Each structure stands twice: as C-alpha cells, then as structure tokens.
Chain A
C-alpha cells in the first residue's frame, strides 16, 4: 500500500527555518519525481518544488533561494528545508508523487504557521 506521511510542521517566527519530512512507503522516492505542494488556509493549491529521479530540482519563484528539496533513499524520505520564512509561507504543505506530469499520490499534509 502506498503511503506518504508528512511531519515537521508547526509554529515558527518570521525569518526562522523549518524542515519538513515526508516518509514514503510503497515505492522508492529516489526512483520517482517527488514534489511539495502547499495550500494557504482557505486558498488554492500552489506548487512549491520538485526533485526528479535523476536529482534535478526546480522551485517556484516564490520560494527560490529560500527552500531546498532533497531526499534520503536509505530512509525513503523526502525533505523540504525552509529558511527566511515569511507570513505568506503559512500553509498546509503536501508531499506528492508526480507520475506522467500529474500528482497521483498525496500525503495528508502538515501545517506550517509563520507568525510572531
């Protein structure tokens, strides 16, 4: 059975840093395209970042230079390191697998709140 479980969310002050994790079972993170998608409370979906099976990484302009996506094949886990956090980064963060350009498996999300 495929499962994606995010963790690491919480309350963080503006300017702070936080790392999210996404533990995956049912397929290999390193063999798939893995992504982070976020959703501010009451708002729509926003793509954040993706890491290709080959290791290439891409980011939305809104997080470029502040967020870093990575993976650990030994733990089959995806990460999102977030720094210089802003109030507008407040959102539920979902990890998802990208297959044939679409996101076919999603986690349940973890909430990041940036506030003083």
Chain B
C-alpha cells in the first residue's frame, strides 16, 4: 500500500516561513492535498491539487510537488497557525485514499 511520510514536528518563529514535507514513492506523479486540524476541531482543506487554495484560505499557504516529496509552505507564520497538518493523496491503482502521519506545527 502507498505510504506518505511526514516529519512529526516542525517549529518556526512568528513571521518566519514554515515548510512541511510529505514524502512518497513518485509522489510527483500524484495530486497532493493538505489539511489543517486544530485541537478539538475537524480537519480543514487548505491546499488541493498540490497548490490550489480553497476559498477563504490566505495566500500565505502555498504548495509544490515534484519527484519524491511534496511541500506545504506557510509564510508569515502566526500563532494561530499552530495545528496539525496532514497531506493526502488518492492512490488510483487501488482506489484508496491515503493520509500522511501528520506534522505538528509549533510557533515559537
């Protein structure tokens, strides 16, 4: 089965740029989607199709996907960005949806 690998944690100072990676075999050939989940809340889609933002998601969120890793970049990090972030793909070969293990973003 397809596996997505994320770092367990990323820390960043306010105002700086956070980068969260999502590794997978030839992930560049897939479409990657990203979610933010705050404690006690449901996940929220923040990027789809590697880099597209849903309505209401600020331009501070951007994404890139090539080769063996996809990256979520969050610029101008704010205290309110502290959350768990998950990547996700659709594995068309098996018709299964796969999530990464999640990355806890800490704002120092």
Enumerate chain A interface residues (CB-CB to B < 8 A). Answer: 35, 37, 44-47, 50, 58, 60-61, 94, 98, 100-104, 106-109
Contacts and interface: CB of A to CB of B under 8 A. Distances in A.
A101 B88 CA distance: 9
A106 B97 contact: no
Interface stretch (B20-28, B70-78, B98-106): B98-106
Interface size class of B (residues with CB under 8 A): 20 to 34
Interface of B: 1, 31, 33, 35, 37, 41-45, 48-49, 54, 84, 86, 88-90, 95-102
Contacts of B42: 94, 106-109
Contact of A101 (B31, B43, B102): B31
A50 B99 contact: no
Given A103-B35, A108-B42, 18 more contacts: A44-B84, A44-B86, A44-B100, A44-B101, A44-B102, A45-B88, A45-B99, A58-B95, A58-B96, A98-B97, A101-B49, A101-B89, A101-B97, A102-B48, A104-B54, A106-B42, A106-B44, A109-B42
A61 B37 CA distance: 25
Contacts of B95: 58
Contact of B98 (A35, A47, A98, A104): A47
